[in-house]
């Protein structure tokens, strides 16, 4: 049986982990490769590096990180942040990434997903979608989610100036050949209030490809809800693991105790 | 001893290279070389065909390189050198692939590569993540790997093997998905040993020591 994945995400800037990672026994908590090794040993199912500055000058640093991580961690590694072209994908794959995540470039031009998937296969093309709830019905239930860029500050608009609907966009990039969606709720990110479950479930049910839930995890129950109520195939979290609130193993055992199939060995 | 990792412009070659290099160093199993050259493949003691991507494109890339496939085929089917296919490198061992269009495979292992269609419609395609292996037939390359061990999969098509004896392991995804195929000196993995942590590294190490 396929297991639900737990994916720790490391925000990287200038080759160092930002937001901080606070593990016991870690020699250098700021070094992404050290953190990756710690998560590998801890039983993480995949790793994600997000290049948060993603300037052109920083690219070389990211390639170097991918290479050094691939030399030491024999587990799947996704890299995102500032990926714009199929050439960026190729360079990251050659450096050691297994999957590459598009974000704003795919919003600006969804065909970039098709070009990358045709060349490298859907299995290595992830599309990150950052969205928040923008409409509610009279009872306060969310009814619409739209895409935001620039760290949630700027609404993404289509050619007609209309905010881009997250569900429609998810279906579009699936049709273009994305292999997976990394869905971050911008209204929950950093709040520790739990995933945006209605949005996660609506999108996960609308597409056939796996959806990774992201944004807002504060407790182990949030991870469980992401799967049971959000219908996510994987859950991504940063701070609850980085700061040592919970270990990966604790999270997996708890999720398993709630009936979710997890990889425990 | 020389192990050739065939580069045909497909997928995460770097990860496979690093994993094979690490295990070759650990067990003193010679040199790992990444190559697209037919004469290097012809000299190699072992051949690995890694890869990610769509069946027709991968096969076209492989056959674009003059003499490369012929060198692989001679090494495996005539000289009986150990061969490992990974993911699309395993699927191409089949008679036919049906991704986008029908494409002939190497026809080393009889069967067809078809779209995954789980009987439970809520299951996602690609089949992506960790699944637990069920070993159908023990094999030297699987020494130390047991039913219940997890491996990392990412694929939308799967290999329906014609002969039961040539399917060495499978996983369950609302239906059987072939995980490992093999006969004689050839073995193929649908999952990625280079991404499968302990079990994967064990398989790579066993392959480097395999003397069929």
A96 contacts B14? CB cut-off 8 A: yes
**Which residue would you say has higher pLDDT here, A62 or A258?**
A258
Compute the average pLDDT of residues A119-134.
92
Count the neighbouring beta carbons within 10 Å of the beta carbon of residue B120. Answer: 8
Residue B194 is among the residues annotated as catalytic for this protein: yes
What residues of chain A lie within 8 A of the CB of B196, using their CB? 74-75
A76 contacts B173? CB cut-off 8 A: no
| Residues A103 and A128 sit within 8 Å (Cβ to Cβ) | yes
Can you tell me the distance from the alpha carbon of B116 to that of B108, in angstroms, rounded to the nearest whole number? 21
Residue A225's pLDDT band, with cuts at 50, 70 and 90, is very high
Can you tell me the distance from the alpha carbon of A106 to that of A129, in angstroms, rounded to the nearest whole number? 9
Can you tell me the distance from the alpha carbon of B196 to that of B151, in angstroms, rounded to the nearest whole number? 5
Instruction: Identify the pLDDT of residue A20.
Output: 57
What residues of chain A lie within 8 A of the CB of B153, using their CB? 2
Where do we find the tokens 């997000």?
A: A50
Phi then psi dihedrals of residue B44, to 5 deg: -70, 150
Residue A221 is among the residues annotated as catalytic for this protein: no
**Over 90: is that where the pLDDT of B52 sits?**
no
- What is the DSSP annotation of A42-54? HT-S-EEEEESS-
What residues of chain A lie within 8 A of the CB of B150, using their CB? 3, 263, 265
**Closest Cα in chain B, distance from residue A123 (Å):** 6
Q: Which residues pair with B161 in a beta bridge?
A: B111
- Which residue from A minimizes the CA distance to B88? A121
- What CATH number should be reported for the domain holding residue A77? 3.20.20.70
For the entire predicted model, the pTM comes to 0.94
Q: Is the peptide bond before A55 cis (omega within 30 degrees of 0)?
A: no
- Which residue from B minimizes the CA distance to A46? B129
**Over 60: is that where the pLDDT of A39 sits?**
yes
Of the ranges A23-37, A163-177, B86-100, which one carries the lowest mean pLDDT score? A23-37
Can you tell me the distance from the alpha carbon of A182 to that of A67, in angstroms, rounded to the nearest whole number? 23
Residue A118 is among the residues annotated as catalytic for this protein: no
Going from the C-alpha of A147 to that of each of A102, B76, B105, B142, B205, the distances in angstroms are 14, 52, 43, 47, 46
Can you tell me the distance from the alpha carbon of A199 to that of A130, in angstroms, rounded to the nearest whole number? 11
B200 contacts A74? CB cut-off 8 A: yes
B152 contacts A93? CB cut-off 8 A: no
Going from the C-alpha of A185 to that of each of A38, A166, A174, B160, the distances in angstroms are 27, 11, 19, 39
Compute the average pLDDT of residues B75-92.
97
Is residue A62 classed as helix, strand or coil in its secondary structure? helix
A74 contacts B196? CB cut-off 8 A: yes
Can you tell me the distance from the alpha carbon of A208 to that of B122, in angstroms, rounded to the nearest whole number? 8
Residue range(s) defining the domain that contains residue A82: 5-258
- Which residue from A minimizes the CA distance to B171? A1
* A265 in any annotated domain: no
- For residue range B158-171, list pLDDT tens digits in order: 999 999 999 999 99
Instruction: Identify the pLDDT of residue A57.
Output: 65
User: How far, rounded to the nearest angstrom, does the alpha carbon of residue A12 sit from its chain's CA centroid?
Assistant: 14
Q: Find the CB nearest B195 among A98, A120, A209.
A: A98
* A27 in any annotated domain: yes
**Closest Cα in chain A, distance from residue B145 (Å):** 12
A1 contacts B172? CB cut-off 8 A: yes
* CB neighbour list of residue A240: distance below 8 Å, 6 or more residues apart: A192, A217, A218, A219, A246, A251
Can you tell me the distance from the alpha carbon of B154 to that of A124, in angstroms, rounded to the nearest whole number? 9
Is residue A102 classed as helix, strand or coil in its secondary structure? strand
Can you tell me the distance from the alpha carbon of B9 to that of A90, in angstroms, rounded to the nearest whole number? 10
E strand or H helix that includes residue B5: strand B2-6
Q: Which of B87, B99, B139, B158 is catalytic?
A: B87
| Residues B125 and B155 sit within 8 Å (Cβ to Cβ) | no
Q: Find the CB nearest A121 among B52, B129, B197.
A: B52
Residue A25's pLDDT band, with cuts at 50, 70 and 90, is low
What residues of chain B lie within 8 A of the CB of A4, using their CB? 129
Domain count, chain A: 1
* A9 in any annotated domain: yes
Can you tell me the distance from the alpha carbon of B77 to that of B55, in angstroms, rounded to the nearest whole number? 22
**Over 90: is that where the pLDDT of A56 sits?**
no
- Which tokens go with A213? 């839930």
Tally A–B CB contacts below 8 A: 113
A208 contacts B124? CB cut-off 8 A: yes
* CB neighbour list of residue B118: distance below 8 Å, 6 or more residues apart: B125, B173, B174, B175
Compute the average pLDDT of residues B40-55.
92
Q: Is the peptide bond before B51 cis (omega within 30 degrees of 0)?
A: no
- Which residue from A minimizes the CA distance to B200? A74
Q: Find the CB nearest B125 among A67, A96, A208.
A: A208
B15 contacts A98? CB cut-off 8 A: yes
B129 contacts A210? CB cut-off 8 A: yes
* A264 in any annotated domain: no
- Which residue from A minimizes the CA distance to B17? A71
Residue A42's pLDDT band, with cuts at 50, 70 and 90, is very high
| Residues A110 and A172 sit within 8 Å (Cβ to Cβ) | yes
Residue range(s) defining the domain that contains residue B195: 2-209
**Over 60: is that where the pLDDT of A24 sits?**
no
Q: Which residues pair with A148 in a beta bridge?
A: A155
Can you tell me the distance from the alpha carbon of B143 to that of B203, in angstroms, rounded to the nearest whole number? 8
* A81 in any annotated domain: yes
Instruction: Identify the pLDDT of residue A228.
Output: 98
- What CATH number should be reported for the domain holding residue B28? 3.40.50.880
Phi then psi dihedrals of residue B186, to 5 deg: -115, 145
Can you tell me the distance from the alpha carbon of A78 to that of A93, in angstroms, rounded to the nearest whole number? 10
Compute the average pLDDT of residues B199-205.
97
Instruction: Identify the pLDDT of residue A49.
Output: 94
Can you tell me the distance from the alpha carbon of B21 to that of B15, in angstroms, rounded to the nearest whole number? 10
- For residue range A204-223, list pLDDT tens digits in order: 999 999 999 999 999 999 99
* Angle, helix A166-176 to helix A111-120, in steps of 10 degrees: 30
Can you tell me the distance from the alpha carbon of A128 to that of A112, in angstroms, rounded to the nearest whole number? 13
**Over 90: is that where the pLDDT of A227 sits?**
yes
User: How far, rounded to the nearest angstrom, does the alpha carbon of residue B114 sit from its chain's CA centroid?
Assistant: 16
Count the neighbouring beta carbons within 10 Å of the beta carbon of residue B87. Answer: 30
Can you tell me the distance from the alpha carbon of B8 to that of A98, in angstroms, rounded to the nearest whole number? 17
Domain count, chain B: 1
ipTM reported for the complex, 2 dp: 0.93
**Closest Cα in chain B, distance from residue A120 (Å):** 5
């Amino acid at each position: 049986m396929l297991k639900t994945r737990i994916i720790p995400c490391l925000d990287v800037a200038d080759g160092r982990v930002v937001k901080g990672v606070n593990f016991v026994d870690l020699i250098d908590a700021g070094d992404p490769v050290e953190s990756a090794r710690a998560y590998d040993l801890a039983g993480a199912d995949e790793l994600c590096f997000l290049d948060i500055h993603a300037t052109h000058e920083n690219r070389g640093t990211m390639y170097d990180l991918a290479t050094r991580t691939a030399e030491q961690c024999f587990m799947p590694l996704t890299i995102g942040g500032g990926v714009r072209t199929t050439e960026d994908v190729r360079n990251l794959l050659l450096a050691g990434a297994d999957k590459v995540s598009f974000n704003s470039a795919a919003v600006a031009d969804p065909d970039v997903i098709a070009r990358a998937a045709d060349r490298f296969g859907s299995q290595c093309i992830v599309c990150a979608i950052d969205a928040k709830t923008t409409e509610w019905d009279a009872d306060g239930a969310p009814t619409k989610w739209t895409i935001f860029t620039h760290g949630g500050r700027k609404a993404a608009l289509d050619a007609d100036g209309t905010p881009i609907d997250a569900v429609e966009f998810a279906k579009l990039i699936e049709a273009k050949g994305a292999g997976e969606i990394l869905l971050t709720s911008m209204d929950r990110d950093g709040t520790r209030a739990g995933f945006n479950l209605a949005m996660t479930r609506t999108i996960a049910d609308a597409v056939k490809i796996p959806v990774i839930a992201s944004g807002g995890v504060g407790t182990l129950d949030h991870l469980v809800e992401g799967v049971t109520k959000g219908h996510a195939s994987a859950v991504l979290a940063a701070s609850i693991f980085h700061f040592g609130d919970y270990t990966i193993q604790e999270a997996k055992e708890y999720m398993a105790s709630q009936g979710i199939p997890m990889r425990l060995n | 001893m020389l192990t050739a990792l065939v580069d045909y412009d497909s997928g995460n070659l770097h990860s496979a290279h690093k994993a094979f290099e690490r295990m070759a160093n650990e067990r003193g199993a010679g040199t790992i070389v990444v190559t697209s050259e037919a004469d290097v493949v012809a000299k190699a003691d072992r051949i690995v065909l890694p890869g990610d991507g769509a069946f027709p494109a991968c096969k076209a890339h492989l056959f674009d390189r003059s003499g490369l496939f012929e060198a692989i085929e001679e090494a495996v089917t005539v000289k009986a050198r150990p061969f490992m296919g990974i993911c699309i490198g395993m699927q191409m061992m089949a008679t036919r692939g049906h991704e986008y269009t029908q494409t002939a495979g190497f026809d080393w292992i009889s069967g067809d590569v078809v779209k995954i269609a789980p009987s439970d419609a809520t299951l996602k395609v690609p089949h992506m993540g960790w699944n637990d292996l069920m070993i159908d037939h023990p094999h030297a390359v699987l020494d130390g790997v047991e039913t219940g061990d997890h491996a990392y999969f990412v694929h939308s098509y799967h290999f329906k093997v014609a002969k039961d004896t040539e399917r060495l392991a499978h996983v369950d995804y609302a239906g059987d998905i072939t995980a490992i195929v093999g006969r004689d000196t050839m073995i193929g993995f649908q999952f990625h040993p280079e991404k499968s942590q302990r079990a994967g590294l064990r398989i790579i190490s066993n392959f480097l020591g395999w003397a069929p």
